[in-house]
Structure 1
Amino acid sequence: MAALLYRLGALAHRRRRTVLVAWLAILVAAGALAATVGGSYEDDFSIPGSSAQQTLDTVGKEFPSSSGATAQIVFVAPTGRTIADEGAVIKQVLDAAAKAPQVAAVAGPTPSRDGRTALAQVGYQVTKAGLEDGTLTALEDTVRPAREAGLQVEFGGSAYGDTPGGTSHLTEVSGLVVAMIVLLVTFTSLAAAGIPLLTALLGVAITAAGMTALAGGLQLPTTAPTLAIMLGLAVGIDYALFIVARHRSQLARGMAVPESAARAIGTAGSAVVFAGMTVVIALAGLTVVRIPFLSAMGLAAAAAVIVAVLVAVTLIPAMLGFAGERLRPKPGSRADRREQHATDKPGAGIRWAKLVTRRPLVTTLAVVIVLGIMAVPAAGLRLALTDNGSAPVDSTQRKAYDLTAEAFGPGFNGPLLVLAGQQDSAALVQKLGTLDGIAAVGKPQMSADGRYALIQVVPRTGPQDPETERVVEDIRDAGGPDAGVTGVTAIGLDISQRLSGSLVPFALVVVGLAVLLLMVAFRSLVVPVKAALGFLLSIGATLGAVVAVFQWGWLADAVGVSRTGPVISFMPIILMAVLFGLAMDYEVFLVSRMHEEYARTGDPLPSVINGFRDSSRVVAAAALIMICVFVSFVPNGSPTLKPIAFSLAVGVLLDAFLIRMTLVPAVLALAGRGAWWLPRWLDRYLPNLDLEGSKLM
């Protein structure tokens, strides 16, 4: 692979104007497609094959008016008055709401026990994904008379479900500014610092435009572009950083610019391709869970990484050619002395490597104990889909959610639909009314042919309460094989259960993949096993931190968590896929330099220390940049995106600095020559990827 990439790097450097024009043309073409055929992103939290989804599909056929999105209108009477006093104006509002676009029916108002709050339900002809622009605005316009009369009016329901928002432009820019500062400190050169940032932004722009174009013909969830941009920006900067750092190191040793550019792609570029394909495989592996929106998110993020890799191995050598001699450290400069290892005192990297390898067993135990303690809260991890109770406190859907829970009970925010067939619906209603945890059972609504009855059931507990899951199972047991339970709450529970059941098998596949890939890359048994176990430690500690913040409320105000509760159900599996790829990034870049030193000297401990010295500074900078990018998506993020961005930032922090830069050198020092041992019979069967570019020497 190194030889092939060397030739590609040389060609891209030689034809740099053609390469640059080609990438700019791709950007223009993607932008044109996005502007002409692009569509909008739509959330579809369906789960084919599940009980709730099958029931919902039947409801859609037999009860078309009940299968669309719903909006709840919550009226609160002014102080000293009741809903009965405001009956005329509420009727005026609901009459107008019934005539609003795409509305199928309006039910209510239902007054609360204290008479101060009323709840009305608006049923739409289509699902949330089918609501046209302006439909909800038209509904909101109908309540103006009520608000003018002094009533508080808020909107909730599935039509106002969590709409993942991005970060503010300020936080995005702040993340890029911090990344630029880290690059400047790393390279002490504006030209060298600018290349990773510019190429990463180009790759992200192409990805974003391409996804918008695809949204015109495919259904992509609203979280897909944000996740893809977040990951594409992070890995795009990191991959370019590794290549530019290798190039400047070679220039400092006197290598000519064309040769150095080609060799940087052949060596660091090989590691980039290996690491990138590892991330892509892990993200594409999300399709095995068989949940459409999760598959779309994984494939979108994988596409962003593929673009980042292609940019790294083609555009970056071209940019190195444009920069020319300006990237060569000036003789006697700090950067030059560092590359020549001619400083008066050892750098931070070599001092840290000597510290952690002086007593490697103590270092290993300390890291394992710290991460083990951090992982303890993960045992209490609870998963659920977000609801309006997780929305920002100043949003209308959050206000409606809280008002409904206070006036009617938390279960009214997540009513269940029971579909009964071939049985006495009146008897089923009576039976459901005797179950624990049921607040109300509605009257049966019969299908046109009389074969099915649809019954609304309101639990006493909210959608994310563990007790609600038990209520759903009790209803399914009570209804027997001819009855099904559906609704947003039931579908969310089925999704969480499937994802929970997929975590362990997915983790085993990911760990097995890590062992296999690293065994091929480094022809070692210790390196892959150590890397896999370290990955599990970082995953456990990261999940523990997520539970502490999002469920227990530690540092909730600092992170911007408006309500503690279950974690978004697909966060852990996305964390595993993304962090696995990033962990392999740092493993490859660190260990490849150590392996390169060992192949040259045959001395295990100095190889670990010197390899760490040559790679740790760049790996630390890459990790800091990635953390900054992820953190920039936490403030003002949606309840869906916030825990994902937070977990990735914490995961990279723990994995890069505790696992890869502390545990890895300690374990390799403990193993000595055994770290690079592989049985001869196995060595004969494994392909030689030559990540270090030994064939180029």
Structure 2
Amino acid sequence: MPEPLSAPAHADTPPSVRSASPATGLARLGGWCARHPALVIAAWSLALIAALAGRHAVAPTFSDQVSLSGAQSTTGADLLAAHSPGAGGSSGRVVFHSDTTSLASDPSVTRSVSALAHLPHVTSASEPVVSTDGHTACTTVRFNVQAKTLGHDYTEQLDGATRSARDAHLQVAYGGDLDQVTRQPANDRASELAGVAVALLVLLLAFGSVLAALLPLASALIAVGTGLGVVGIVAGTVSFATSAPTLATMIGLGVGIDYALFLTTRFRQDLIDGKDPVTAAARTTAASGRAVLVAGITVIVAMLSLYACGLSFIGKLGFAASLAVAVTATAAVTLVPAALSLTGRRIDRLTVRRPVAETSGDRDGWHRYATRVARHPWRYLAAGTAVLALLAVPALSMRLGHVDASADPAGTTSRTAYDLVADASGPGFGPGANAPLTVVVDLGTDHSQAAALSPALQQALQSAPGVAQVTTPRPSPDGRLLTSTVTPGHGPQDAATTALVTTLVHDTLPSALRGTNAHGYVTGTTAAQADFRDTVQQRLPVIIATVLAAAFLLLTTVFRSLVIPLKAVLLNLATTAASYGVLTAVFQWGWGSGLLGLHEPVPIESYVPMMMFAIVFGLSMDYEIFLLSRIADVWRTSGDNTRSVGTGLATTGRVISSAALIMTAVFLSFSTSPTVVVKMLALGLAVSVVLDATLVRLVLVPSSMFLLGRANWWLPKWLDRRLPHLHA
């Protein structure tokens, strides 16, 4: 049985423990900032203004264009661009509808299509295809650039070209690649304000003081604003995804408030212990500031590890988030000490309840809880593990895919276009018409094969399971290619459509072209999304291995142990698996998805698990490091594992719980975003933070450390001599 929490220190404390020295550099930095608060605050204010002004000056561009070099869909698209100009490239659909009038020969539709063909960057607008009942017609508009690069302002030109149809009281909607143009840019300002409001409420409850609550919030807002400005400036030369600013805000605001919260809590404890404000700020920066920097570096390493997947689109998302984290961590060890020193003992002047510090003594609730865990570690370890395992079960059925326009809010033009096409009957309509596939056959130098291959190819394509319609394969102008359009029987996000792409690529085309020197490819938006999903699935293990290895090495160096990093890695994997399970149950199974504004189950966006793993791992390490740093502080002076774990848990329990509640509120506030991917990330990150700060940090970590005893701190002497000395 573990020894009591008040057990005396061991006399045989390891040399590496006794020799631990304080971070004098951080102490000097915190002391300087505390002695010159006005200068530091003015410098950060100027940095905020300069960053925002710079962002406005460079006019950053954001794009969701993904490049999959070497993918079969990319090869097919390149062949079309080279040998059949106008057949490939980006395309959108303009849909016309009337409840009462037949559009088979409606002059307003004809005039609108003609006007669309003359818009800038439009290479062609096809003859309208009319549904069986005549009430719906659609034309395919092809562009010489990616439609998503045209910008939202291009919607006005589309509206101008289709004014004739609108004046005739026809319903007009835009779909296909045009949904990237017409979709309103996500405005998450309301989400940000809601998150800030909830964070302020939690801070008031945690500190009981208005100034103590406002200080972490204000410093975080300054840091996040500066970070977003930096992201915008970098976006002037590096093209980030459209969700990059939202992701940077989510993570930056969450960690920014948390870092300031940990520092403020430690500062107030030093004031209670009788230290003057400047000394308290310096000591806080030297102690909690070290944990902040290690935690921030861990998050940044996890974010930048996304580049290991080889997809610049995902890597740049991590880069944008890492910029925000770097700025907030820097603000935590400079701006926060300055603000704390300036506030001084006035920090508790405006109170809403009796202020509390890190701990109320050896007999407060957290110490009593730690004692119970120490007495029954196996029970707590088994119960916590069982809960995580249960939550992770749905992840076994996770299906990656792409969320299509059917998940867009009702009334949006992209959703309207999708529904009109899916609900209409006749050739060119039905759910699969929203997911057309272009089959490209490269004949090489033997153009004479075209006539013989065309009928057999069409028959093979039509016979593939899940195909609704196939057009007659036609040669390109130079005779090098045969092209055909395949309409699936299901919508873009349906598993059957993804399976059809796989079947065409790996079975149908190789079989139909066997015995010839021709090569077949499946391209188009839906095929490219399937290739992207496959690429992400193949490279996810690389990301996981990279993040785990980096975190293990960092924690081994910081905490001088091989056991603690291994345990941290395993527990973070468990947290991530449980978060994946909740995500699958809500979005894919539809459990409670209506609360998030979704009317039907959707697949998990292909890159969300990869992003979530890096983010969750980085953020969960924050709480791991803050808890372990306090445990390590006691261990270095006492060498008593039970006392170290109990004291660390008791002194950080309240602040970790408050920090987790704040970060959860910030993340959940973004679940109201109209973008489904942002909803997924918001919910997944919120769940992971809750699980990590409660079940993992307050149950599994202490119970496992109580059981392992002094083995927690095992490190071979030869490795101890070779590792640099860093302490959190």
Q: For the superposition of Structure 1 and Structure 2, which TM-score range results when normalised by the shorter chain?
A: over 0.9
Task: State whether structure 2 residue 427 is matched by structure 1 residue 410.
Answer: no
Q: 2:19 corresponds to which residue?
A: none
Q: 1:695 corresponds to which residue?
A: none
Q: Cα 1:340–1:289, aligned 2, differ >3 Å: closer, same or farther? A: closer
2:289 and 2:660 mapped to 1: Cα distance?
18
Higher mean C-alpha deviation, range 217-226 or range 142-151: 142-151
**Cα deviation digits, residues 486-517 of structure 1 (max 9, x gap):** 11111111111111122233223323333322
Higher mean C-alpha deviation, range 102-111 or range 135-144: 135-144
Higher mean C-alpha deviation, range 204-213 or range 577-586: 204-213
Q: 2:70 corresponds to which residue?
A: 49
Q: What residue identity is the alignment partner of 1:160? A: D
* Structural mapping, 1:243-322, within 5 Å: 243-322=263-342
Question: How far is 1:586 from its partner?
Answer: 0.4
Question: How far is 1:132 from its partner?
Answer: 4.8
* Of 631, 636, 639, the match for 1:599: 636
* Of 476, 490, 514, the match for 1:461: 490
Question: How far is 1:452 from its partner?
Answer: 2.2
Question: How far is 1:36 from its partner?
Answer: 1.9
Q: Cα 1:441–1:593, aligned 2, differ >3 Å: closer, same or farther? A: same
Q: 2:110 corresponds to which residue?
A: 91
Q: 1:369 corresponds to which residue?
A: 386
Q: Cα 1:672–1:133, aligned 2, differ >3 Å: closer, same or farther? A: closer
Q: 1:137 corresponds to which residue?
A: 156
Q: 2:446 corresponds to which residue?
A: none
Q: 1:478 corresponds to which residue?
A: 508
Q: Is the partner of 2:664 in helix, strand or coil?
A: helix
Q: Cα 1:264–1:499, aligned 2, differ >3 Å: closer, same or farther? A: same
**CA contact 1:38–1:214 (8 Å) conserved in 2:** no
Task: State whether structure 2 residue 460 is matched by structure 1 residue 431.
Answer: yes
Tell me the TM-score normalized by structure 1: 0.93
Task: State whether structure 2 residue 140 is matched by structure 1 residue 110.
Answer: no
2:85 and 2:332 mapped to 1: Cα distance?
51
Q: Cα 1:680–1:485, aligned 2, differ >3 Å: closer, same or farther? A: same
Residue segments in structure 1 that go unaligned for 5+ positions in a row? 692-697
Tell me the TM-score normalized by structure 2: 0.89
* Of 182, 192, 199, the match for 2:219: 199
Q: Is the partner of 1:65 in helix, strand or coil?
A: coil
Q: What residue identity is the alignment partner of 2:614? A: A
1:191 and 1:207 mapped to 2: Cα distance?
24
Question: How far is 1:168 from its partner?
Answer: 4.5
Q: Cα 1:357–1:211, aligned 2, differ >3 Å: closer, same or farther? A: same
* Structural mapping, 1:387-406, within 5 Å: 387-406=404-423
* Structural mapping, 1:22-171, within 5 Å: 22-79=43-100, 81-84=101-104, 87-161=106-180, 163=183, 165-166=185-186, 168-171=188-191
Question: How far is 1:339 from its partner?
Answer: 5.3
Q: Is the partner of 2:499 in helix, strand or coil?
A: helix
**Cα deviation digits, residues 179-209 of structure 1 (max 9, x gap):** 0111122222222222211111111111222
**CA contact 2:122–2:144 (8 Å) conserved in 1:** yes
Q: What residue identity is the alignment partner of 2:215? A: I
Q: Cα 1:138–1:328, aligned 2, differ >3 Å: closer, same or farther? A: closer
1:546 and 1:170 mapped to 2: Cα distance?
23
Q: Is the partner of 1:640 in helix, strand or coil?
A: helix
2:229 and 2:350 mapped to 1: Cα distance?
40
Higher mean C-alpha deviation, range 462-471 or range 443-452: 443-452
Task: State whether structure 2 residue 530 is matched by structure 1 residue 493.
Answer: yes
Question: How far is 1:167 from its partner?
Answer: 5.0
Task: State whether structure 2 residue 371 is matched by structure 1 residue 358.
Answer: no
**CA contact 1:224–1:300 (8 Å) conserved in 2:** yes
Q: 1:694 corresponds to which residue?
A: none
**CA contact 2:209–2:348 (8 Å) conserved in 1:** no
Q: Is the partner of 1:104 in helix, strand or coil?
A: strand
**Cα deviation digits, residues 620-650 of structure 1 (max 9, x gap):** 1111111011001001330121101110011
Q: What residue identity is the alignment partner of 1:435? A: A
Q: What residue identity is the alignment partner of 2:497? A: T
Task: State whether structure 2 residue 468 is matched by structure 1 residue 449.
Answer: no
Higher mean C-alpha deviation, range 130-139 or range 264-273: 130-139
Q: What residue identity is the alignment partner of 1:580? A: F
Q: What residue identity is the alignment partner of 1:291? A: L
2:242 and 2:350 mapped to 1: Cα distance?
48
Q: Cα 1:169–1:469, aligned 2, differ >3 Å: closer, same or farther? A: closer
Question: How far is 1:340 from its partner?
Answer: 7.0
- Percent of aligned positions that are identical: 38
* Of 34, 38, 42, the match for 1:13: 34
1:340 and 1:127 mapped to 2: Cα distance?
58
* Of 235, 238, 247, the match for 1:215: 235
Q: Cα 1:443–1:136, aligned 2, differ >3 Å: closer, same or farther? A: farther
Question: How far is 1:161 from its partner?
Answer: 3.5
2:244 and 2:358 mapped to 1: Cα distance?
41
Q: Is the partner of 2:126 in helix, strand or coil?
A: strand
Question: How far is 1:572 from its partner?
Answer: 0.6
**CA contact 2:265–2:358 (8 Å) conserved in 1:** no
Q: Cα 1:311–1:384, aligned 2, differ >3 Å: closer, same or farther? A: same
**CA contact 2:348–2:355 (8 Å) conserved in 1:** no
Question: How far is 1:329 from its partner?
Answer: 8.5
**CA contact 2:231–2:324 (8 Å) conserved in 1:** no
**Cα deviation digits, residues 574-626 of structure 1 (max 9, x gap):** 11111111111101111221222233333332332222111111111111111
**Cα deviation digits, residues 456-503 of structure 1 (max 9, x gap):** 221222222222223223322433462211111111111111111222
Question: How far is 1:359 from its partner?
Answer: 1.2
Q: Cα 1:330–1:210, aligned 2, differ >3 Å: closer, same or farther? A: closer
1:266 and 1:429 mapped to 2: Cα distance?
72
Q: Is the partner of 2:196 in helix, strand or coil?
A: helix
Question: How far is 1:93 from its partner?
Answer: 2.2
1:489 and 1:435 mapped to 2: Cα distance?
17
Q: 2:513 corresponds to which residue?
A: none
2:202 and 2:153 mapped to 1: Cα distance?
44
Question: How far is 1:330 from its partner?
Answer: 11
Question: How far is 1:362 from its partner?
Answer: 0.9
Q: Cα 1:146–1:129, aligned 2, differ >3 Å: closer, same or farther? A: closer
**CA contact 2:466–2:500 (8 Å) conserved in 1:** yes
Question: How far is 1:10 from its partner?
Answer: 1.8
1:635 and 1:568 mapped to 2: Cα distance?
17
Q: Cα 1:292–1:525, aligned 2, differ >3 Å: closer, same or farther? A: closer
Q: Is the partner of 2:490 in helix, strand or coil?
A: coil
Superposition RMSD on alpha carbons, in Å? 2.3
Q: 2:600 corresponds to which residue?
A: 563
Q: Cα 1:527–1:330, aligned 2, differ >3 Å: closer, same or farther? A: farther
1:201 and 1:330 mapped to 2: Cα distance?
21
